[in-house]
Structure 1
Amino acid sequence: MPTTRIAFQELPPAVIAAVEKHTGPILKAEPASEGFNSEVAARVFTENDGYFVKGMRSEHRRIWTQRREAEVNPFLTDLAPELLWHAEEAGWNVLGFELLEGRHADYSPGSPDLPKVAELLHHLGETPCPEIELRHAEQRLESYAATPADLDFFAGNALLHTDLNNANVLVDDSAHLVDWAWATRGAPWLDAGYWVIWLMAAGGHTPESAEQWANRVPAWRAAPSAGVTAFAVANAAMWQEIGGDAPDSWTVRLVTASRDWARYRNSL
């Protein structure tokens, strides 16, 4: 479930003061319009600079996502905004990132952003997975795979983002991935598979056309067909569980896209 969002200005004064030790006096704060995994997510501006700030209460049940982002960021050269500082104060855990220019990626058919995202995933595939604690893809999908044997397809030692929501891709001359809370270790082709689902959910993409975009990612071209089918089936089961009996308008797109992709894969 999404985390309840508060404005940056509603943080305890001691937390704002801790942030300003790194930034200088903050003159303006604008709430982020996308993503609700953090309790605070905002663009903050000083006289000369801007930063992206995200934070959670230290006792939040998903506080590990903040720590995961802080740990993985040094290994994401040119893939993601740089983490500039990490503050813990008055029961809050806050991260400060460089503020990138750009907009959320457009996943619609014919979008000029699509080649940039494919290149981004190619670059990610060439990035070594750091020796830090990460969740494993086969563990995350264990409850959704059709058979235990399918989990072997998802295992690997590649660094994965796993949340290819277009709101997590910022595009200008190139593309960058933000929100690495769900960074994972697994088979190198899985992020291209996640992208297939998000492309279909964006509208206008068939399973065939979405897979054609995934095929621009070298790791995808080496994926076993049976593994891709197993991955599609597992994601359909996962999104069905997330959606439940009454999915909201946002979730229903993912439920439908993942179901349609699994049906297509099973028909091959």
Structure 2
Amino acid sequence: MTTNRITFHDLPPNALAAVEDRTGPVLKTETVSQGFNSEIAARVFTDSGSCFVKGLRADHKRVWTQRREAEVNPFLHGIAPALLWQIEGSGWVLLGFENLKGHHADYSPDSPDLPKVADLLRRLGEVACPEIDLRRAEQRLEAYAAKASDLEYFAGSSLLHTDLNNHNVIVDSTAYLVDWAWATRGASWLDAGYWVVWLMAAGRHEPESAEQWASQIPSWRVAPAEGITAFAQATANVWEEIAGHDPDDWTAQMLNAARRWATFRQRV
């Protein structure tokens, strides 16, 4: 699941030169440790400003995720940082994004960030899903649904992020979603469902509290209860597979949250 991280200056000279053609001479860099989808993730500072650079080798098995982010970005004004440039060459695919100020979202129950994240998901729900090649939610969850008929609940025509990890939400005066590697087309309420699990895991919410926050998103309020229950069980099955027999602390925390939510939904 993880990808080995290198520093900006570990890039080959031609790739570094290509970046500086876009940014001007680089004065300072800061490697970012969070995230799993990129081999390089760094803040780059120049005389004219800063940007956030991420990328994968051109032969990496998930390089398609970089291209997916570039494709979807023009449709995410005010939702995600703007893509400033894209480079494919010297064996790398590199993306340069607006460098957001702010902090990673705090998901704890009394956090002032929560209303901003709820507003972010409301705004995302108003974005028309672009006509680009996206994976479908029912495809991604096909192997994890309790029964085949559950997949009908997950199908839809909305643009979804699907990874509401609090490190993917940057909060300042408003909130933004970063890392669109797993952008998906599906039912409009699913991102609120993904948020429930992260609220429970990263924010230590009880299921009732997490679902109360999800209910701030209009699409959640009209989602079928049976569909939510089916999604909770499928999500628990996803984390069972990710965790395997010897999960690390972070994965065990996610698995515990997903299991607790699925158990709660069985009683609703």
Alignment TM-score, normalising by the size of structure 1:
0.99
Deviation, 1:202, is 1.5
Code of the residue aligned with 2:84 in structure 1: it is: L
What's the counterpart of residue 59 of structure 1? 59
Q: Distance in 2 between matches of 1:203 and 1:24?
A: 40
Report how far residue 141 of structure 1 moved: 0.2
Answering whether residue 26 of structure 2 is matched by residue 26 of structure 1, we say yes
* 1:64-79 equivalent positions in 2, closer than 5 A: 64-79=64-79
Compute the displacement of 1:48 (Å): 2.3
Question: Does 2:126 align with 1:126?
Answer: yes
Q: Which amino acid aligns with 2:174?
A: S
Could you list the per-position Cα deviations for residues 130-156 of structure 1 after superposition, in whole angstroms to 9, with x for gaps in the alignment?
Answer: 000000000000000000000000000
Q: Distance in 1 between matches of 2:197 and 2:230?
A: 14
Q: Which amino acid is 1:42 matched to?
A: A
TM alignment of 1:44-123, pairs within 5 A: 44-123=44-123
The residue type equivalent to 2:227 in the other structure is: G
| Structure 2 residue 236 is the aligned partner of structure 1 residue 236 | yes
CA distance in 2, matches of 1:240, 1:68: 27
CA-to-aligned-CA distance 1:32-78 (integer Å, 9 cap, x gap):
12112100000000012100000100000000000000000000010
List, as ranges, runs of 4+ consecutive aligned residues in structure 1 with deviation greater than 2 Å: none
The residue type equivalent to 1:175 in the other structure is: A
Q: Is the 8 A contact 2:146 2:233 kept in 1?
A: yes
Q: Which residue of 2 aligns with 1:8?
A: 8
Letter in structure 2 aligned against 1:12: P
CA deviations on 1:79-114 (whole Å, 9 max, x unpaired) are 000001000121100000011100000000110000
Shift of 1:203: 4.0
Q: Structure 1, residues 109-134: CA drift from partner, whole Å, max 9, x if none?
A: 11000000000000000000000000
Let me know the Cα RMSD of the aligned residues: 0.6
How many residues align? The count is 268
Aligned partner letter, 1:125: G
**SS of the residue 2:88 aligns to:** strand
- Residue 210 of structure 2 is matched in structure 1 by 210
Q: Equivalent residue for 1:172?
A: 172
Task: Give the AA of the match of 1:207.
Answer: P
> Is the CA contact (8 Å cut-off) linking 2:106 and 2:203 kept in structure 1?
no
Q: Distance in 2 between the 1:145 and 1:31 partners?
A: 38
Partner residue, 1:194: 194
The aligned residue for residue 263 of structure 1 is 263
Given residue 25 of structure 2, which amino acid in structure 1 is its aligned partner?
Answer: P
Segments of 5+ residues of structure 1 without an aligned counterpart are none
AA in 2 matched with 1:115: P
Amino acid at match of 2:211: E
What secondary structure, in the 3-state scheme, does the structure 2 residue paired with 1:176 have? Answer: strand
CA distance in 1, matches of 2:168, 2:12: 28
2:208 counterpart SS class: helix
Q: 2: CA distance between counterparts of 1:228 and 1:148?
A: 15
1:252 aligns with 2:252: yes
Aligned twin of 1:42: 42
Amino acid at match of 1:257: A
Q: Which residue of 1 aligns with 2:138?
A: 138
> 1:221-249 deviations in whole A, cap 9, x for unaligned?
01000000000000000001000001101
The equivalent residue for 1:221 is 221
Report sequence identity in percent: 65
Instruction: For residues 12-36 of structure 1, give each alpha carbon's deviation from its aligned partner in whole angstroms, at most 9, with x where no partner exists.
Output: 0100000111000001110012112
> Unaligned 5+ residue runs, structure 2?
none
